[in-house]
């Protein structure tokens, strides 16, 4: 019997580039057995509730075997184009699972899928991107600060940076409870041994540059620069809805000089997440003007917390030198 291999790489996919799968981070491998050109193709997997997981195929299939790691008790399986798997007990929000699935179609073609996913999180809170540091020379320490607007759980919330165009997904949160009014810091490099993600009870466990006592600190592994003065940052939920976004530009040109930034601008506009002051697709002149940010200065790009969110550059300002406020309320009076 002939063999055909298909590998679907899910790490860092964003909807404006590809909507192949809403599965969580990881790599899904589909091993297709059979010679038919109409063999089934695995398309996506998604937890649709605390007790239901869907696997989507290009044509109806029947499940031969299905196992999860860690083990999950399966109550029933509904075959078809979309295979609905019903779980016996409700799963904790945002937990990582790996599904090992073997299916067959009516012609006898079989497909083996190994797919990572996260369990459903129905308590993703509203939040705002609140402060960003794109430049700092000694040490190199960029960060993104979030302000939590309502209590919830951050599991499966994903942070994207368009300028990191080959792998724009830079961080995905695991399960952690957060409260309204809380600030969260995502540090974009891990430069020191004292850095650690604060998923536990303590908000004082992490050291490192810009780590703040009493504030949850999280760290992107590696030492590569991820955030730039001309860029787009956005946060997605499990359904690829944009929770919040911001666009930055050090020029005031009419249009973007990079295709991935133009794609990000269109994506954010179509999802009602960023726009020009007159409601159009945003160009560089409609982004937060970052021209006054200098490498050696301790300035940040900060949201004015005293005004309503309009998803435009009008909500933002550049802090004064030494005016960064990681983990604390922003102060536009310092500008």
In the predicted model, what is the mean pLDDT of residues 143-148?
A: 98
- Considering the domain architecture, whether residues 31 and 113 belong to the same structural domain is answered as yes
- Considering the domain architecture, whether residues 185 and 39 belong to the same structural domain is answered as no
Distance CA 146, CA 11 (A): 23
Q: Is the pLDDT of residue 10 over 60?
A: no
Q: Is the pLDDT of residue 24 over 70?
A: no
Higher pLDDT, 272 or 13: 272
pLDDT grade, residue 191 (50/70/90)? Answer: confident
pLDDT grade, residue 27 (50/70/90)? Answer: low
Residue 315 backbone phi and psi in degrees, to 5: -80, -5
- Considering the domain architecture, whether residues 173 and 317 belong to the same structural domain is answered as yes
Is residue 31 packed enough to be buried (19+ CB in 10 Å), middle (13-18) or exposed (0-12)? middle
Q: Is the pLDDT of residue 195 over 80?
A: yes
**Residue-number span of the structural domain to which 145 is assigned:** 127-334
Q: Is the pLDDT of residue 204 over 50?
A: yes
Q: Is the pLDDT of residue 17 over 70?
A: no
Q: Is the pLDDT of residue 8 over 50?
A: no
Helix/strand/coil for 24? coil
Could you give the number of structural domains in the chain? 2
In the predicted model, what is the mean pLDDT of residues 258-279?
A: 97
pLDDT grade, residue 106 (50/70/90)? Answer: very high
Tell me which of 96, 118, 140 is where a domain ends.
118
DSSP state of 33: E
- Considering the domain architecture, whether residues 245 and 199 belong to the same structural domain is answered as yes
Whole-number pLDDT of residue 298: 79
- Considering the domain architecture, whether residues 112 and 131 belong to the same structural domain is answered as no
Distance CA 247, CA 241 (A): 17
- Considering the domain architecture, whether residues 261 and 140 belong to the same structural domain is answered as yes
CATH of residue 69's domain is 2.60.40.1220
- Considering the domain architecture, whether residues 105 and 131 belong to the same structural domain is answered as no
Whole-number pLDDT of residue 301: 95
In the predicted model, what is the mean pLDDT of residues 3-26?
A: 34
- Considering the domain architecture, whether residues 181 and 202 belong to the same structural domain is answered as yes
H or E stretch at 145:
strand 143-148
Whole-number pLDDT of residue 296: 55
What is the value of pTM for the model shown? 0.85
- Considering the domain architecture, whether residues 205 and 311 belong to the same structural domain is answered as yes
In the predicted model, what is the mean pLDDT of residues 203-229?
A: 95
CATH of residue 195's domain is 2.60.40.1260
Whole-number pLDDT of residue 31: 61
Whole-number pLDDT of residue 180: 98
Tell me which of 71, 101, 118 is where a domain ends.
118
In the predicted model, what is the mean pLDDT of residues 7-19?
A: 32
In the predicted model, what is the mean pLDDT of residues 211-236?
A: 96
Q: Which of 109, 89, 156, 136 is nearest to 322 (CA)?
A: 136
- Considering the domain architecture, whether residues 32 and 167 belong to the same structural domain is answered as no
In the predicted model, what is the mean pLDDT of residues 205-231?
A: 95
- Considering the domain architecture, whether residues 140 and 113 belong to the same structural domain is answered as no
What is the pLDDT of the chain when averaged over all its residues?
88
Could you please report the per-residue DSSP string of 153-195?
A: E-TT-EEEETTSTTS-EEEE--S-EE-TT-EEEEES---STT-
- 8 Å CB contact between 13 and 169: yes
Tell me which of 84, 101, 118 is where a domain ends.
118
Q: Is the pLDDT of residue 33 over 90?
A: no
- Considering the domain architecture, whether residues 312 and 261 belong to the same structural domain is answered as yes
Percent over 90 (pLDDT), the chain: 78
In the predicted model, what is the mean pLDDT of residues 86-93?
A: 92
pLDDT grade, residue 26 (50/70/90)? Answer: low
Q: Is the pLDDT of residue 68 over 90?
A: yes
């Amino acid at each position: 019997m002939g063999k055909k291999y298909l590998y679907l790489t899910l790490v860092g996919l964003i909807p404006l580039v590809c909507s192949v799968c809403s599965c969580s981070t990881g790599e899904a491998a589909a091993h297709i057995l059979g010679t038919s050109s109409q063999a089934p193709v695995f398309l996506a997997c998604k937890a649709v509730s605390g007790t239901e997981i869907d696997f989507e195929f290009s044509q109806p299939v029947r499940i031969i075997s299905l196992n999860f790691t860690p083990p999950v008790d399966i109550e029933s399986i509904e075959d078809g184009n979309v295979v609905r798997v019903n779980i016996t007990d409700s799963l904790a929000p945002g937990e990582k699972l790996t599904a090992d699935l073997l299916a067959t179609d009516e012609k006898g073609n079989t497909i083996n899928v190994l797919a990572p996913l996260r369990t459903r999180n129905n308590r993703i809170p509203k939040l705002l991107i609140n402060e960003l540091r794109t430049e700092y020379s000694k040490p190199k320490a960029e960060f993104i600060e979030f302000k939590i607007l309502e209590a919830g759980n951050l599991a499966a919330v994903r942070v994207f940076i368009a300028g990191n165009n080959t792998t724009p997904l830079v961080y995905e949160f695991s399960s952690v409870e957060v409260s309204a009014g809380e600030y969260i810091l995502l540090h974009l490099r891990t430069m020191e041994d004292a850095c650690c993600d604060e998923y536990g009870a303590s908000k004082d466990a992490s050291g490192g540059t810009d780590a703040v006592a009493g504030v949850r600190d999280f760290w992107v592994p590696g030492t590569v620069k991820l955030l730039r003065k001309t860029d787009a940052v956005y946060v997605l939920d499990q359904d690829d809805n944009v929770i919040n976004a911001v666009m930055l530009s050090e020029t005031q040109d009419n249009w973007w000089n990079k295709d991935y930034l133009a794609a990000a601008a269109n994506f954010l506009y179509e999802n009602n997440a960023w726009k020009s002051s007159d409601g159009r697709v945003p160009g560089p002149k409609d982004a937060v003007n970052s021209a006054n940010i200098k490498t050696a200065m301790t300035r940040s790009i900060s949201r004015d917390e005293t005004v309503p969110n309009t998803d435009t550059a009008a909500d933002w300002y550049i802090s004064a030198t030494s005016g960064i406020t990681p983990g604390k309320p922003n102060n536009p009076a310092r500008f």
